[in-house]
Amino acid sequence: MKSQPVFRVASDSTTLRSRVLTTLNHEVPEGDVKSHFSRDGRFALFTDAADATDYSNEVYVEFQDSSPLGLPLEMYVGRRRVAAGIWRTDVWLDDQKLDATGPWQTLCEEIDGDGAFLERLLPLSGGRSFSRRLFIAYKEKLFLSVDVLYGSDAERDAEEKKRRTQDLSDKAPSPILRVRSLFPLDSTESFVSQDDSAKALAFYDVASDSSPFARVFPFSATERSTDATSGTFAVKKTYGGVLETSARRTGGSLCVATLFDWNANRATRPFNFGVATVGEDLQAVDDGRAVGRQILLGRERYVLYVSTSRRPAIRSILSRNLLSDFMFGKFFVGRGVEPLVDVEIPDDF
């Protein structure tokens, strides 16, 4: 007897959703399957339900070799498609636009009962690289994207040496790093409203705009920094169904993140972002080497840690020691930070 496909595929085969599910039906074993990444690395599915339902949340991404910085993407919150199109990213070093010099490389894939994590690295011109980390937290109803534009190996080694030796004799100007992301929104079933502070977007149903059902928070390593070398960060108003975010930094590495909150019960509650100090050898680590952030959504508090150093030592954030490349967790009073995902540093990084 022929087994039933794991995923129900819609009749419209032109959508990315249909193409991804058709491919994964040939790879995924039967059972309670949620997120999955195709064997060839082309497709990624992040979903908090074993099959599409009225209440499941889904993200579909295609990693293309022909245009690696333009990724086809679709996002569904319940029955509503809130994003569809090409997720475009542009990166610059000073005034020079950087291009990909090879395909995406998989650094980490991790799927368990709490969520799914994917990290890909893209080599760029000028000896630099660009990483994209995608994470879904099932029970928390959160989807997180974290991008990092790294300095070259030589630059990062020189900065590490300068930091260790306190050598200030090198007066060479640091390069200016810039990242711009164009995230494709879909206005057919929902629309977005931007708050006055430009720190969040709320999704409303087209048929009933009484209350939002989801929110998106674009933020970066630079948006609250008092260090002048950390440059600027800006969230521009949507145009043509696109959410544009841009960030700039002088020297080091540049980190930009976007958090999607699919919990409708939290969609009208207060939120806030704050710096979570990262410590190393009893000293604070600057944003060019590691990023620490606290995110308050209603009564729930989350913590983000991203390392951009080549060879970091043991670090701490909110009294939790870690030797990690990436960590996203939830903070509990009396228990501290409990990771939802904790990724060790790759051996060859």
Q: What is the pLDDT of residues 140-180, one digit of tens each?
A: 999 999 999 997 766 656 666 555 655 555 566 788 899 99
Q: How confident is the model at residue 4 (pLDDT cuts 50, 70, 90)?
A: very low
Res. 28: pLDDT tops 80:
no
pLDDT digits (tens, 9 = 90+) for 229-267: 444 555 665 556 788 888 888 888 888 899 999 999 998
Q: What is the pLDDT of residues 295-326, one digit of tens each?
A: 999 999 999 999 887 666 789 888 888 888 89
Rounded Cα distance between 117 and 98, Å, is 26
What does the alpha-carbon distance between residue 19 and residue 10 come to, in Å, rounded to a whole number?
Answer: 10
Q: Quote the pLDDT of residue 5.
A: 36
pLDDT at 188 over 80: no
pLDDT the model gives residue 6: 38
Mean pLDDT computed over every residue of the chain: 81
The CATH number of the structural domain formed by 16-344 is 2.70.98.70
- How sure is the predictor about 13, in pLDDT bands with cuts at 50, 70 and 90? low
Residue 31 has pLDDT above 60, yes or no: no
DSSP class of 13: T
Q: Is the pLDDT of residue 276 over 50?
A: yes
What long-range pairs does 268-273 form, CB within 8 A, spacing at least 24?
A: 268/211, 268/212, 269/297, 269/298, 269/299, 270/296, 270/298, 271/199, 271/200, 271/215, 271/217, 271/295, 271/296, 271/297, 271/298, 272/296, 273/199, 273/217, 273/219, 273/223, 273/224
Which is more confident, 154 or 335? 335
Mean pLDDT to the nearest integer, 192-198: 62
Q: Report the alpha-carbon distance of residue 253 to residue 249 in Å, rounded.
A: 8
Query: Which residue ranges make up each domain of the chain?
Result: 16-344
